[in-house]
């Protein structure tokens, strides 16, 4: 009997995990895909070895082309119950993963697809790939994406993207801070793997705490965020990684971080 691959699948190798989207040619977001995505993230969250997580679109024609609009009619009066709340939960789960996350975008990321990428910490995109929150073309709204996009690139540019529903070039995306890297040679996934390898070599406790502090800088008043930074610094000094790193530096060897 042929085993059916889930719409989203986690592959873990050493310190790096890869969440691949495998939901048809366009990786459309539907209920089955969201359930599989949620399960993959839950599995990744319990893997204490992972130091970086990559999300990619597999071999599909799109990283993710957004929601399956054929589902919309059945959600007319109870969309929050059957789609919006669950989708928001999955995106929040992705954004709150303890380890750094990277979206590797080798094909268009549109609508809900860009929302997935925006929920990652970093975005690596292949040159020439289309990016956009295109929901307004159908009279729809990228709710989760509107908030994350505005925080990332500022209100004026976010409003332009949302109001027009137009895609942006990878050059503009890089200049605006929408993406971190535009790859001209090879694939975005290959580049994301190189970046993930570099991240995995660094102190895992340091990276986890750095992620919480950067997020706190957006979410909290500055005094509260700075107070949290003091607690995080004390955790670093109380742990083993910093002292291993110092010993390795003085001993002119590669550190062996434990994440504790």
- Is 147 found in the same domain as 244? no
Among 126, 143, 145, smallest CA distance to 186 is for: 126
- Is 241 found in the same domain as 125? no
| Residue 116 domain-assigned (yes or no) | yes
Of the candidate ranges 32-46, 73-87, 126-140, 153-167, the one whose mean pLDDT is the lowest? 73-87
| Residue 101 domain-assigned (yes or no) | yes
- Is 177 found in the same domain as 55? yes
- Is 54 found in the same domain as 26? yes
- 1-37 pLDDT per residue, tens: 445 678 999 999 999 999 999 999 999 999 999 999 9
- 122 in helix, strand or coil? strand
- Is 227 found in the same domain as 162? no
Pairing of strands 16-21, 8-13: antiparallel
Mean pLDDT across 65-92: 85
Could you tell me the residue range of the domain that residue 243 belongs to? 204-250
Residue 88, Cβ neighbours under 10 Å: how many?
14
| pLDDT given for residue 3 in this prediction | 52
- Is 122 found in the same domain as 69? yes
| Residue 257 domain-assigned (yes or no) | no
For the chain, what percent of residues have pLDDT higher than 70? 98
- Is 148 found in the same domain as 75? yes
Looking at the 3D structure of the chain, how many domains does it have?
2
| Residue 258 domain-assigned (yes or no) | no
- Is 215 found in the same domain as 156? no
- Is 216 found in the same domain as 94? no
| pLDDT given for residue 59 in this prediction | 93
User: Annotated catalytic sites, by residue?
Assistant: 115, 135
- Is 165 found in the same domain as 40? yes
Q: What is the CATH number of the domain that holds 211?
A: 1.10.12
**In the Cβ-directed half-sphere of 35, how many Cα atoms lie within 13 Å?**
5
- 136 in helix, strand or coil? helix
């Amino acid at each position: 009997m042929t085993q059916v691959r889930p719409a989203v699948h986690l592959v873990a190798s050493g310190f790096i995990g890869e969440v691949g989207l495998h939901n048809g040619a366009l990786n459309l977001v539907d209920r089955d895909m969201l359930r599989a995505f949620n399960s993959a993230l839950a599995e990744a969250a319990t893997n204490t070895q992972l130091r970086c997580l990559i999300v990619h679109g597999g071999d599909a024609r799109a990283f993710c082309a957004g929601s399956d609009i054929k589902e919309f009619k059945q959600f007319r009066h109870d969309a929050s119950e059957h789609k919006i709340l669950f989708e928001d939960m999955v995106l929040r789960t992705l954004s709150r993963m303890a380890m750094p996350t990277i979206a590797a975008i080798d094909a268009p990321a549109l609508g809900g697809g860009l929302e997935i990428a925006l929920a990652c910490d970093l975005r690596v995109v292949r040159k020439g790939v289309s990016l956009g929150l295109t929901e307004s073309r159908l009279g729809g709204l990228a709710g989760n994406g509107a908030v994350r996009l505005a925080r990332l690139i500022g209100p004026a540019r976010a409003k332009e993207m949302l109001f027009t529903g137009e895609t942006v070039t990878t050059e503009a995306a890089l200049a605006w801070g929408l993406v971190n890297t535009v790859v001209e040679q090879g694939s975005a996934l290959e580049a994301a793997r190189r970046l993930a390898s570099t991240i995995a070599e660094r102190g895992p406790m340091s990276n986890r705490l750095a992620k919480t502090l950067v997020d706190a800088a957006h979410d909290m008043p500055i005094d509260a965020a700075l107070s949290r930074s003091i607690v995080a610094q004390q955790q670093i000094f109380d742990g083993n990684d910093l002292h291993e790193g110092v010993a390795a530096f003085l001993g002119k060897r590669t550190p062996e971080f434990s994440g504790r």
